[in-house]
Amino acid sequence: MGMRQHSEESVAMYVEVLLPLALARQYTYAVPLSLADAVLPGVRVDVQFGKKRRYTALVLEVKTEPGNDKDIKPIQGVVDERPIVFPFQLAFWRWMAQYYACSMGEVMAAALPAHFRLVSETLVMAGEGYQLDVSLLDDKEYLIMEALGFQRVLRIQQIQDIVQQRSVWPLIRQMLEKRYIALEEDMQERYRPRKVTCVRLCSPYAEDPEQLRAAFGLVAKAGKQTEALMAYIQLSREAPLVRRQEVCRKAGVDSGVVAALFKKGILEPFELEVSRLIEYGGVIEEAGILSGAQEVALEAIRKEVQEKEVVLLQGVTGSGKTRIYTELMREAIAAGDQVLYLLPEIALTSQVIGRLRRIFGDEAAIYHSRLNNNERVEVWQQVLGGKSIVLGARSAVFLPFQRLKWVIVDEEHDASFKQQEPAPRYQGRDAAIYLAHLYGARVVLGTATPSVETYYNVQTRKYGLVRLSERFGGLELPAIRLVDLKPASRNNQMHGHFSAELLAAIAKTLEKGEQVILFQNRRGFSPAYRCTSCSWHASCVHCDVSLTYHKSGNQLKCHYCNYKSPLPLVCPTCGGTHLALQGFGTEKIEEELKIYFPDVSVGRLDYDTARGKYAHTQIIQEFDEGRLQILVGTQMVTKGLDFERVGLVGILSADQLLQFPDFRASERAYQLMTQVSGRAGRKFQQGQVLIQAFQTAHPVLQDVLEQRFDRFFQRELGERKQFSYPPFFRLIRITLRHQKPDKVDEAAAHLHAMLAPRLGDQLKGPAMPSVGRVRGLYILDFLLKLEKGQVHTGKVKSFIQQCIAQVTAMDGLSGLRSHVDVDPY
């Protein structure tokens, strides 16, 4: 993208622009006459903001009058030839900023790929008109001035390399004061299309194949050149484009040999722009025949969306919901429309992506956090060009759709649809529903275990409901059994963390040639390292949490800030040596399995093993192909995986799920246990599920055992109403953080004094969260409970933001960090 620049001249009009910064307002800039025809809403422009810094800002509006802004600067250039953002998107950004109580600039920063958000780079050049006395320069100044003698400008990185130090700004300021150097800002487009060098025949050989004899005559005495020319001819018969490196590889020569063919006028190079995105190279398959139940469900969805914008497809695990989605996608492609298919943690849903790409090929684009910045730009451009299907994580709601027809949110209950850090802290499912509303599109929410809010919207007839109550192919749902750990633990009959029943079930399943999934929702080897003499425990120096022991690196780790520490051999408090690991995570389960089943191949799927870009895919593929017999994992193993040979699922510690300090603990526990249970027996025969627990009479466990979602929902709804939680109340959490505990206390006291008179009993706190210090910052929270329909929440959010701004501006509180989180859980 070339950038059009301006020179000093008269103003043609004005633009209101959005900067990718956490600013409370937008700014007005003047448009010089020479750039007037290039400026449109939705294009990026180069602007100076502050004294020196330059940014790419997005044009929101073109105006004839400047409004109330003073000291209006001109834009420096126009980056785009056509808009990269459209009015629907800008309306979506405005809604998101208002609803989630953040700035439009923060939404812009989250929405646009990083390479679209350009920031100027400082360049250093020699000072003009100043007589330099070399004898007055110190060593580092001399090195910099010497380098500037060879090239006109230096970048900061180059100066760091020259003087061999990271911090160079004190040195630069010193040289500026002496007028040895001057600075300027340079705006560079960071996205560069990937280009490859291809080769083709020159004229006349390209037009007349008979002339090739003459070409071979020119290289008759050069054997390697002859081989390279032969390689090119063979490759050109197989594909329309031939890359230079392919010729070298096939002929077994280096690039110099091909360069000799260029000099002789036989071949010529040319550059071709290619995509960085992995193209689908397999065979396109048919989607398969719909079952009778799927046909009925599909027709019911079509009927429901005539009256309602959102419909819940509640289908038991393994019922074939994805097959229904593919039918909606095929219809949209045929009509020239677009479909957004949202998945939780897309990196973990490689099976679904693979299945859809086998049906739709390159019609389906994939967008998620594990793409690099260049790849994200290319997906953005594909959607801008009308790509039919987008499979994405929550951030895909920001892509520039133009003809959106359907939004499909798979596993709509999943907690990972909620963005935690940074702002905007949006709920991907809810944002997708509003996005569809803007486009007049329809939404299908799919899950076996709906969120309480979604199901409440069904009950109140805000959403439609379609059920798929049987598994595809008529398979039975898995048989679920509870294993009471109390007697086994009391009688010392536990085998590590396995009951005798679970070990026997694993052995029997493996004997039948089937596979096993074991679910434990804690990673690492052991979550606590304690002294049994004085109760000291290893904790993080930056956070108020226990360190988890990871045997793979033989060290203690913090799962909040990644602080690492070796295991102390003696207790730092009492000097004793009675130190013990307590509790268990996935790593310990993996080790214990190797004791009881030494000849069985075991894999582990958790955050530690799935960090690489394709690591998760490799583990899932190995299990899918039968190279792993047992898969141990955290909640990652619950997400949409479909394995043919899984006969048994074991949940090792259901109590941990139920004891979490969160009003959603029961809901999440029910969802996780039901979802992981659904991985069993999906293809050939009924699977079985064993749930180990101490509290086997817990009502949630009974609901999972009897697969009674309606009973679970009614009980949960009653508790939510009694204690003022969603879906009856809207929650807003205000978080304050500071390096000093007395400062965060002071800020909380000031904020409470401002908020309480207006908000009254709706305001709870300040209170310390379950983890009161993270990354060296002390934390206090307020929780606001607003009854739906009774309060104008928009005005309340504005009031909160104004009060926080006043507190932050107080003397001594400039280091305060704060944020507002709407619908925080």
pLDDT at 282: 53
In a domain, 684, yes or no: yes
CA-to-CA separations, 407 to 312, 340, 391, 425, 467, in angstroms, rounded? 12, 5, 10, 20, 18
Residues 215 and 72 in one domain: no
In a domain, 400, yes or no: yes
Contacts for 258 with CB less than 8 Å, ≥ 6 apart? 199, 228, 244, 247, 248, 267
pLDDT at 613: 62
Domain boundary residue among 116, 149, 164? 116
pLDDT at 25: 86
Residues 245 and 334 in one domain: no
Residues 512 and 556 in one domain: no
Q: What is the CB-side half-sphere exposure of residue 773 using CA atoms within 13 A?
A: 16
In a domain, 286, yes or no: no
Domain boundary residue among 670, 700, 719? 719
Give the CATH number for residue 442: 3.40.50.300
Contacts for 69 with CB less than 8 Å, ≥ 6 apart? 27, 28
Would you give the end-to-end CA distance of the chain in angstroms? 42
Q: How confident is the model at residue 743 (pLDDT cuts 50, 70, 90)?
A: very high
Q: 177: domain range?
A: 121-186
Residues 800 and 753 in one domain: yes
Q: How confident is the model at residue 186 (pLDDT cuts 50, 70, 90)?
A: low
Mean pLDDT of 72-100: 90
Residue 622 above 70 pLDDT? Answer: yes
pLDDT at 593: 92
pLDDT at 325: 93
pLDDT at 122: 73
For the stretch 196-227, pLDDT in tens is 788 999 988 888 878 888 889 899 889 999 99
Give the CATH number for residue 79: 3.40.1440.60
Residues 495 and 643 in one domain: yes
Domain boundary residue among 540, 560, 583? 583
Residues 497 and 616 in one domain: yes
- The secondary structure of residue 777, as a DSSP letter, is E
| Segment of 55-59, 112-116, 442-446 carrying the highest mean pLDDT | 442-446
In a domain, 285, yes or no: no
For the stretch 157-181, pLDDT in tens is 888 889 887 767 778 878 887 888 8
> How many domains does the chain divide into?
7
Query: Other CB atoms closer than 10 Å to residue 393's CB: what's the count?
Result: 22
Q: pTM of the entire structure?
A: 0.80
In a domain, 474, yes or no: no
For tokens 């004094």, name the residue: 753
Residues 692 and 555 in one domain: no
pLDDT at 616: 72
Residue 528 above 90 pLDDT? Answer: no
In a domain, 82, yes or no: yes
Residue 818 above 90 pLDDT? Answer: yes
In a domain, 671, yes or no: yes
CA-to-CA separations, 514 to 234, 510, 606, 681, 683, in angstroms, rounded? 48, 5, 22, 10, 12
**Contact by Cβ (8 Å): 439, 401:** yes
In a domain, 777, yes or no: yes
For the stretch 641-693, pLDDT in tens is 677 788 898 999 888 888 877 889 999 999 988 888 877 765 667 788 899 99
Nearest to 750 by CA among 705, 709, 807: 807
Residues 699 and 802 in one domain: no
Residues 493 and 609 in one domain: yes
d(CA 309, CA 465): 12
d(CA 108, CA 93): 7
pLDDT at 684: 62
CA-to-CA separations, 783 to 129, 418, 768, 815, 822, in angstroms, rounded? 62, 18, 11, 22, 10
Residues 608 and 671 in one domain: yes
| Average pLDDT of the residues of the chain | 87
Encoded tokens for 427: 């709920």
Residues 685 and 661 in one domain: yes
Residues 637 and 497 in one domain: yes
